[in-house]
Structure 1
Amino acid sequence: MGLTFSFSGVVLLVIALLAISAFRILREYERGVVFMLGRFWKVKGPGLIFLIPVVQQMVKVDLRTVVFDVPPQDVITRDNVSVKVNAVVYFRIVDPEKSVIQVVKYFDATSQLAQTTLRAVLGKHELDELLSERERLNLDIQKVLDTQTDAWGIKVSTVEIKHVDINETMIRAIARQAEAERERRAKIIHAEGELQASAKLLEAAQMLSQQPQAMQLRYLQTLTNIAGDKSSTIVFPMPMDIFTVLANAKGGKTAE
């Protein structure tokens, strides 16, 4: 009698433990991919779910956004410049079934794919584009990754290039190129200024030539401007018209 009681007690205890283990609680950001006898059945959660012991198994999946750093990659640009580039990738699971069934260790697979995609996309562009057009390159890498991971139920939302490491020789070459570009622009601006000044001087000369009295007024204005500086000696050309007027006036007095 005692043996029978102890055996039934063990059976009840096992049944109770199985019943307790059959209940699972999934958080709001978690889903459970349930398999029945090895075959996919359905995706459950969040909240309290029930699993048939032994018959059903569950794989828990986290739906929150995952962030990981892409290790520095050696990239050779289209203009044959060797650089090291690292990036950061943001992705999340949108289809728990595919993330469990279609790929083994989706995180590792996405990380490896991000590394190869980073090298492949950046290798198609020149160094100047890599330094000045990061937003466009980020979008190109994100689109390629998102397309390839779609079969795994993964959505790549953002890719950001963090750092581009260039060797010292190339940095000095870029600095020389930038300096030469600034000098070129300065010469062009100076030449354009000379051209505009010459056009204005020609216009002024044409205007003064139409009215000879304007030249005399210009002389007087120049004298007024430099008269304030008392420490300098002013040498100013005397117009020949004045001597002609004086000579005519003197000749008229002598005739009288």
Structure 2
Amino acid sequence: MLITIFIPIIVILLMLLAAAIKILREYQRGVVFTLGRFTGVKGPGLIILIPFVQQMLRVDLRTVVHDVPSQDVISKDNVSVRVNAVLYFRVINPERAMIQVEDFLMATSQLAQTTLRSVLGKHDLDEMLAERDKLNNDIQEILDAQTDAWGIKVANVEIKHVDLNETMVRAIARQAEAERERRAKVINAEGEQQAAQKLLEAAHILGQRPEAMQLRYLSTLNVIANEKNSTIVFPFPMELGELFKAAATKSR
């Protein structure tokens, strides 16, 4: 008879003990409410609560990696793209994360989506593709400022993909090809200009020293002889022509 009486009492005591004793891990904190009023943040370790009087909500302080769903964005130059990103954030104030917002995970996710569309819509497509670091920093600063009231710290935002339709991909390919051709023509023109400048300098030097011209003439003959051509055309020096003309005049 006594055993039958004590069994329910033991069960009730065990239930009260289970409700009173909580164990929090190193990365967890407990937000405690006493009769519905906030009374403090406890943990990690062993936490003792007053059953039916105190309640505790667990908060994870580890960094959360959240994949922001793809968003349809219209850039400043009216190009439609789909952009997705990844968000890194963590709770730094458990009290505000539990009291100031109903669901801080959902709230942060929704805010990230709207901020992503807002920030990217202010930039051209070229900026989205070439200046991702700057855009990441802009989005991170805006999110961090707005989530501070919720006790959330946004550590980093990374834009993963900027998806374009096939028409825009072909247009960008044509633009890149035209840019490469332009650069090739500019480089070729700069090479011609430098070569002409060097030839002008060489002509100026050779014009000042006639013996240098003769050495150049002999060097050219040596190169032509080594080519083993069947026909060799020798340039006729103007000085030698003048010499023959003077000798003919004297013989008369």
TM-score, scaled relative to structure 2: 0.92
What secondary structure does 1:53 align onto?
coil
Question: 1:74 — aligned with what?
Answer: 72
CA drift of 1:21 comes to: 2.3
Match of 1:191 among 181, 189, 192: 189
Pair 1:31–1:245, CA change in 2 (3 A): same
Equivalent AA in structure 2 for residue 43 of structure 1? V
2:69 partner amino acid:
P
Tell me the distance in 1 between the aligned counterparts of 2:205 and 2:6: 124
Question: 1:111-163: per-residue Cα shift (whole Å, max 9, x none)?
Answer: 11111111001111111110011111111111111111111111111111111
What CA deviation, in whole Å up to 9, does each residue of 1:157-207 have, x standing for no partner? 111111110111111111111111111122222222222222222222222
Superposed CA offset, 1:45-84 (max 9, x none): 1111110011111111111111111111000011111000
Aligned counterpart, 2:171: 173
What corresponds to 1:118 in structure 2? 116
Which residue matches 1:164?
162
What does 1:25-64 align with in structure 2 at a 5 Å threshold?
25-64=23-62
Tell me the distance in 2 between the aligned counterparts of 1:129 and 1:64.
Answer: 33
1:239 shift after superposition: 2.0
Q: Which moved more, 1:211-220 or 1:151-160?
A: 211-220
Local SS of the residue matching 1:236: coil
The runs of 5 or more residues in structure 1 that have no matched partner are none
Superposition map of 1:8-19 within 5 A: 10-11=8-9, 13-19=11-17
Larger radius of gyration: 1
Higher alpha-carbon deviation: 239-248 or 122-131: 239-248
Question: Secondary structure of the residue that 1:158 maps to in structure 2?
Answer: strand
Secondary structure of 2:226's counterpart equals coil
1:230 equivalent in structure 2: 228
Amino acid at match of 2:36: G
RMSD: 2.2
More displaced 10-residue stretch of structure 1: 48-57 or 237-246: 237-246
- Distance apart, 1:241 and its partner CA: 2.8
C-alpha change, 1:174 and 1:16, in structure 2 (3 Å) is closer
- Give the Cα separation in 1 of the matches to 2:196 and 2:220: 20
Paired letter, 1:203: E
SS in 2 for 1:174: helix
SS at match of 2:220: helix
The residue number in structure 2 matching 1:91 is 89
1:213 maps to: 211
Q: Does 1:201 align with 2:190?
A: no
- With over 3 angstroms needed to count, the CA separation of the structure-2 counterparts of 1:27 and 1:221, relative to structure 1, is same
* Aligned mates of 1:89, 1:172 — CA distance in 2: 31
Change in CA separation of 1:24 and 1:218 when aligned onto 2, cut-off 3 Å: same
CA distance in 2, matches of 1:240, 1:7: 136
